[in-house]
Structures are given as C-alpha cells and as structure tokens.
C-alpha cells in the first residue's frame, strides 16, 4: 500500500497584545488562540511557571492530551475489531519535562488508562491490545521520548 499523506492546519494567533508589548519578559501576555477550520478556538497560554494563564491550555498539556487521546482512539478501534467490549475508559496521563538552561524537553509520558470491559470480554486480550495501540498511535510514533502505558483492566459487574 502506498503511503498516504494527511495534512493538518492550525492557525495560532497571539491574543495578548492588549496586555502589553514584548518590551521585556515580564511585560506581555502569553495568551493565544489555536484555530482549526470549522472548530471552536482553543484558548492557549504558557505554563503558569512561564508567566502563563493557568486557566488556558498550554503546549505541554496539549502534548500529553494528544498522546493520551491518540492511544485511546487506537485502543477503542482495536477492541472493536477484536471483540473486546469497552464500557468505560479514562486515562490519568502524566508527562515529565525537564527544564535546563536554554531549553527543555519531555523525558517521558506515562498513560494510565482505566478500562472497564463487559464480563464476556477477554481481560488478557484487553490488556494486550494496549501494546498494539501504542505501536499504531501516530502521535507516539512522532515523539523522541518514551511513552509508557500502565493499563488497569476492570470487568463490569453484571446488572
């Protein structure tokens, strides 16, 4: 099968200019909007540790969220194809970033999905499919740091 290219477009616009110019590090707002055509704007800012607005999404939050949601979507797809009936899925993902003089980088992200399946589903298969979801995840395949998955598989009690 030939490679297929998908294009994604985002417009990032600084909205903090009313808060002051970039005269100094302390003088300007870090607020911005991310826009994708046909979707609501996503309000962003820097991490609060870098003078950002804690009520807005920051790039580091979005990185962890992108990894977690990509993994979940692949996992749900694989479960549907392999006969595992998922009734609930929630991930408490966490990313670690080190800041060094002049730069910073993620050192790892850990996904901790809690997955509830029906009693007639195979719990071992449900657990194993996380490895395949990781292998298929477009975002995990695009980063240069480890992404670990520590799933917790639960079986729903009969009604």
Provide DSSP, 16-73. Answer: GGGG--TTSTTSS---EEEE-TTS--EEE---GGGT--TTSB-HHHHHHHHHHHHHHH
Can you give the pLDDT at residue 92?
97
Of 26-30, 129-133, 145-149, the range with the lowest mean pLDDT is: 26-30
Distance CA 89, CA 141 (A): 22
* Domain at 59-155, CATH from 3.40.50.1110, 3.30.300.20, 3.40.50.10490, 3.30.420.340: 3.30.300.20
52-81: pLDDT as tens digits: 999 999 999 999 999 999 999 999 999 999
**Please, what is the average pLDDT of the chain?**
94
Distance CA 142, CA 139 (A): 5
Can you give the pLDDT at residue 159?
63
Encoding tokens for residue 35?
Answer: 């826009």
**CATH 3.30.300.20 boundaries in the chain:** 59-155
SS3 1: coil
pTM above 0.75, yes or no: yes
Q: How confident is the model at residue 150 (pLDDT cuts 50, 70, 90)?
A: very high
Of 6-20, 96-110, 132-146, the range with the lowest mean pLDDT is: 6-20
Distance CA 158, CA 1 (A): 44
Inform me whether the pLDDT recorded for 18 exceeds 90.
no
């Amino acid at each position: 099968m030939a490679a297929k290219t998908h294009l994604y477009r985002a417009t990032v616009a600084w909205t903090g200019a009313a808060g002051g110019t970039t005269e100094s590090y302390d003088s300007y707002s870090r607020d911005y909007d991310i826009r994708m055509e046909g979707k609501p704007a996503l309000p962003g800012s820097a991490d609060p540790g870098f003078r950002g607005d804690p009520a807005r999404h920051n790039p580091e939050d979005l990185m962890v969220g992108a990894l977690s949601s990509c993994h979940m979507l692949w996992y749900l797809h694989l479960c549907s194809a392999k006969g595992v009936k998922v009734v609930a899925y929630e991930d408490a993902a966490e990313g670690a970033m080190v800041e060094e003089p002049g730069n910073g980088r993620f050192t790892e992200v850990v996904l901790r999905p809690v997955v509830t399946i029906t009693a007639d589903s195979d719990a071992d298969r449900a657990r194993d499919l996380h490895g395949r979801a990781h292998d298929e995840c477009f975002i995990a395949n695009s980063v240069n740091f480890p992404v670990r998955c520590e799933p917790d598989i639960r079986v729903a009690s009969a009604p």
